Amino acid sequence: MSEHSPILLAALPELSVDAWIVITGAVTNVACALVGCFLVLRRMSLMGDAISHAVLPGLVVAFLFSGSLSIVPLFIGAAAVGLLTTFLTQSLHQYARVPGDASMGVVFTSMFALGVVLLKKYVSGVHFDVACVYEGALEYVPFAEPVFGLPRPLFTTLVVLLVNLVVLALLWKELKVSSFDESLASTMGFSATAMHYLLMTLVAVTAVASFEAVGSILVVAMLIVPAATAHLLCDRLGIMVILAAGVGVAAAILGYLAGYWFDTNYAGMMAVAVGCLYALAVLLSPRYGLVSTLVRNLRMSLKVLRDDLLSMLYRVEELSSEKPLSPAKALQAVGGGWLAQWGLAGLVRVGQVESRDDRLQLTDAGRNAARNLVRSHRLWETFLVEHLGMPLDHVHEPAHRVEHYIDEHLQKELQAEVDATAGDPHGREIPE
Amino acid sequence: MSGLSLSEKVMIGTSLLGGMSGVVGSFAVLRRRALVGDMLSHAALPGVCLAFLVLGNRDLLGLSLGALATGLLAIGAVTVIVRWTRTKEDAAIGIVLSTFFGAGIVLLSVIQKPGVGGNKAGLNFYLFGEPANMLTGDLYLLAVVSSVMLLIVALLYKEFQLVSFDADFAQSQGWPTLRLDLAMMAALAVVTIVGLPIVGVILMAAMIILPAATARFWTNRLPMMLLLAGAFGVAAGLIGTQLGRDLPAGATIVLTAAAMFVFSLLFAPQRGVVARVLAEWHLRQRISREHLLRALYELGETRLPQIAALPVEQLRAYRYWKPRSLERLLQWAVGEDMVKLGDVHVQLTPLGLRHAADLTKVHRLWEMYLMQHADIPADHVDRDADDTEHLLPEAVLVELEQQLADEGRLPRAIPEVPESPHELEASREP
């Protein structure tokens, strides 16, 4: 790395080979993640896959015309083919009524086949390795010819990252609105179609810039997975973009470490790493994760079970029945199972229910809570009959479901609507 | 079969593959799962590598079973993601595809390390496909798999058809749609994985989609579509291998299929672009002809029953025709004996008047209907009726006329067909 240009040489510390690899990976991942967010939101994730395959003939033609692998003609070729792919996919879908996914598949596979044939026919012998397009050559980045003191692949991806950042900053509102609501975009006076093509151009250029460094598979991964991961973690586009970029950087670092540890392909490891990050988000996302959903559902079921036990005991007391309600019977009545046992244990623990001589009994605290529930239940039943005219034998079930969610405020409102002194529609008293 | 030359083997093999992927791909395309083929062919790579690492050789059956295992795992992963998370199907496919393929690349580079034994020269063919590697045994494998696939499709034909066209209905009828979907995808996985070493990752995805999408242009019936897709696949295999003597055969097969697709896209009857453009052109022509006749009727209506001779300029200004297009319209009308054209005047013939009166009647019936039943104000109905009148089916018109006549709203100006002078035979009624 002795050929650094003098100006930047002063600014940049001498970095190790490994640092260059991580930096290049991170820059590429962030560039892809930025545009990827919009792809995922527009449900066009696979457009990234399609474009990154379809650019092959564009690259070959650009190479044939310019006779070199220099970056400008390759970009022009890639952008042109990217737009063509988008346009053909769209037209096939719109005018020839081919289903959207099939039209994408038709276009990019045919383009790729064309690229393979062109490659074989005209470019054989030149360094244009298809396997390399897949796997990338992240390992060789530090040894690439330097441009302004940076390895060339890093320089190109850095430029593309800047372009993406600038476009996103300038057209943030337009991209956002057109991603969520195309018709609104049109009524606000800018073309959703133009935004669509702009985005596809960015995807194509980003993909081509990243190929040399990380290979097409990491491009596809980074266009989709960081954005999908961020989408699981938040509900705001601004945060999603930042998170996606963060996931991209994390994947670069983790992928590098794993690749170093197992001594294998870095780009492949980064793709695996980002896949694992996604899996983690699927499990652990605070809001949409499987674990938190499971916990939420469990707590809900537990609350419902406890409420049901309490109000059942209250009703038994109300009938002043002499027959004791044994724990086993009570559990059976609310559906049984370990969850019911757990719920009953909880009630006993907080001192709302006592279990004496195989007989369940409400404590004073329990009675108050139960009275409140039964009140909610009967108020709701009365309301359904008086105001919605529902038949008597249809109101218990909805009231049974809704009683857990009726708070004090709603109770007051219900009370104002119905005549509570007259008892519920079944003739039972509505407790105070 | 050992007497076959390599090129014959390749031809038989690729056409078997083409036919099989055409049939199975038809369901994938109809079910909007076209890109699952793409995912499967990527997800096969780690399986191939693992199988190689375990077996230590590149026995096709072993590698294929490995590929099938990770392919099915990928399908399971996508199903789980779509069912349990807020990630949409397209992103789910992309995530699984790239992660699995990344893992495959990692394993591949492990295999390529000098310490790992076995003949690994041939693993790349799984990525890019090499028909010329085909052995007689592979041909038997292909033949067996194709027959099994055809058998499965035949056995589950009704179920697959139902799920492809209306999964919600299928579910409401109590069919196990999830299991049927998985069965369909598993069939797709088997076909994809058998085809991978022949045409490669990307081009296998094409073989799933292209013949099916091509067949869709030619027919609206599923059995015909399956037949055609199979035939197109076979043809692509045969012609593609012929063309691809010194080119990558996988690519030429796909390009052949793409050429058939483009041809069908353009020239298929009904759904083809040319047919649709022609049909639209005909419709447009009919509309402007009908507008001409109605304009002539409306301009001369006050002087009926005399047929007025109208200045051509007045007619042109009435609908803002361009002089050229009006000229062409009038020439057509003269040719059809609908109008008489003088130096500056134009006049309907009695035949033209009949047609024009009918058209005007349709227009006004529709206007009245819109005012009455769609509550559209009187000054807005003209344009709406203008657009719709040409498309109204006869039955609707009869109904409209009857309805308005019953209400006593049918204006006198609309010419009635006189009663038949003789008694009509009841038997002629349909």
Q: Search chain B and give the residue with CA nearest A232.
A: B86
Instruction: Kindly report the nearest CA distance between residue B106 and chain A, in angstroms.
Output: 5
Question: What is residue B424's predicted lDDT score, i.e. its pLDDT?
Answer: 53
Note whether A326 and A359 are within 8 A (CB).
yes
Q: How confident is residue A270, by pLDDT bands cut at 50, 70 and 90?
A: very high
Contact A232 B86 (CB under 8 A): yes
Instruction: Kindly report the nearest CA distance between residue A12 and chain B, in angstroms.
Output: 32
Integer Cα distance of A352 and A366 in angstroms: 4
Choice between A140 and A12, residue whose per-residue pLDDT is larger? A140
Q: Is the pLDDT of residue A3 over 50?
A: no
Element containing residue B133 per DSSP (H, E): none
Give the nearest partner residue to B251 out of A48, A116, A265, using CB atoms. A116
pTM: 0.80
Which B residues, 222 through 281, put their C-beta within 8 Å of a C-beta on chain A? 247-248, 250-252, 254-255, 258, 261, 265, 271, 273
Q: Is the pLDDT of residue B126 over 70?
A: no
Contact A101 B33 (CB under 8 A): yes
Tokens representing residue B58 in the block: 């590149």
Interface test with A, best of B98, B130, B246 (most A CBs within 10 A): B98
Contact B251 A117 (CB under 8 A): yes
Integer Cα distance of A314 and A325 in angstroms: 11
Q: What is the DSSP string of B298-350?
A: HHHGGGTTS--EEEHHHHHHHHT--HHHHHHHHHHHHHTTSEEE-SSEEEE-H
Q: Phi-psi category of A276—alpha, beta or left, where left has phi over 0 and alpha has psi -120 to 50?
A: alpha
Q: pLDDT per residue over B158-185, tens digit each?
A: 989 998 888 889 889 888 888 888 888 9
Element containing residue B263 per DSSP (H, E): helix B249-267
Task: Give pairs for A320-326: CB < 8 Å, separation 24+.
Answer: A324/A357, A324/A358, A324/A359, A324/A360, A325/A359, A325/A360, A326/A358, A326/A359, A326/A360
Q: pLDDT per residue over A140-198, tens digit each?
A: 777 777 777 778 788 888 999 999 999 999 999 999 999 888 888 888 888 888 888 89
Choice between B403 and A186, residue whose per-residue pLDDT is larger? A186
Q: How confident is residue B427, by pLDDT bands cut at 50, 70 and 90?
A: very low
Integer Cα distance of B378 and B272 in angstroms: 40
Instruction: Kindly report the nearest CA distance between residue B312 and chain A, in angstroms.
Output: 39
Q: How confident is residue B99, by pLDDT bands cut at 50, 70 and 90?
A: very high
Tokens representing residue B205 in the block: 């995805």
Q: What is the DSSP string of A220-251?
A: HHHHHHHHHHHHHH-S-HHHHHHHHHHHHHHH
Instruction: Kindly report the nearest CA distance between residue B160 and chain A, in angstroms.
Output: 18
Asked if omega into A142 is within 30° of 0 (cis), the reply is no
Give the nearest partner residue to B34 out of A99, A275, A276, using CB atoms. A99
Question: What is residue B429's predicted lDDT score, i.e. its pLDDT?
Answer: 41
Question: What is residue A140's predicted lDDT score, i.e. its pLDDT?
Answer: 72
Distances from the Cα of B16 to the Cα of A318, B191, B257, angstroms: 77, 11, 14
Q: Is the pLDDT of residue B407 over 80?
A: no
Give the nearest partner residue to B94 out of A49, A120, A262, using CB atoms. A49
Instruction: Kindly report the nearest CA distance between residue A223 and chain B, in angstroms.
Output: 9
A82 and chain B in contact, CB less than 8 A:
no
Element containing residue A362 per DSSP (H, E): strand A359-362
Question: What is residue B417's predicted lDDT score, i.e. its pLDDT?
Answer: 45
Integer Cα distance of B250 and B247 in angstroms: 9
Note whether A340 and A334 are within 8 A (CB).
yes
Contact A225 B98 (CB under 8 A): yes
Question: What is residue B115's predicted lDDT score, i.e. its pLDDT?
Answer: 63
Question: What is residue A429's predicted lDDT score, i.e. its pLDDT?
Answer: 79
Give the list of residues 6+ apart from residue A402 with CB closer than 8 angstroms, or none: A376, A380
Mean pLDDT, rounded, for A81-110: 88
Q: Search chain A and give the residue with CA nearest B275.
A: A96
A405 and chain B in contact, CB less than 8 A:
no
Question: What is residue B123's predicted lDDT score, i.e. its pLDDT?
Answer: 65
Question: What is residue A395's predicted lDDT score, i.e. its pLDDT?
Answer: 86
Contact A101 B94 (CB under 8 A): no
Interface test with A, best of B85, B210, B254 (most A CBs within 10 A): B85
Question: What is residue A280's predicted lDDT score, i.e. its pLDDT?
Answer: 94
Mean pLDDT, rounded, for A324-334: 82
How much of chain B exceeds pLDDT 70, in percent? 88
Q: pLDDT per residue over A206-235, tens digit each?
A: 888 887 777 788 888 999 999 999 999 999
How much of chain A exceeds pLDDT 70, in percent? 92
B210 and chain A in contact, CB less than 8 A:
yes
Note whether A266 and A193 are within 8 A (CB).
no
Locate all alpha helices (DSSP H) within B173-221, ordered by sequence.
Answer: 177-199, 201-218
Integer Cα distance of A381 and A422 in angstroms: 13
Q: Is the pLDDT of residue A5 over 50?
A: no
B189 and chain A in contact, CB less than 8 A:
no
Contact A95 B273 (CB under 8 A): yes
Helix (H, G, I), strand (E, B) or coil at A127: coil
A266 and chain B in contact, CB less than 8 A:
no
Dihedral, CA of residue A165, residue A170, residue A176 and residue A182, to nearest 10: -130
Mean pLDDT, rounded, for A50-59: 85
Mean pLDDT, rounded, for B322-342: 86
B97 and chain A in contact, CB less than 8 A:
yes
Q: How confident is residue B323, by pLDDT bands cut at 50, 70 and 90?
A: confident
Question: What is residue B376's predicted lDDT score, i.e. its pLDDT?
Answer: 74
Integer Cα distance of B299 and A318 in angstroms: 87
Instruction: Kindly report the nearest CA distance between residue A184 and chain B, in angstroms.
Output: 23
Contact A110 B261 (CB under 8 A): yes
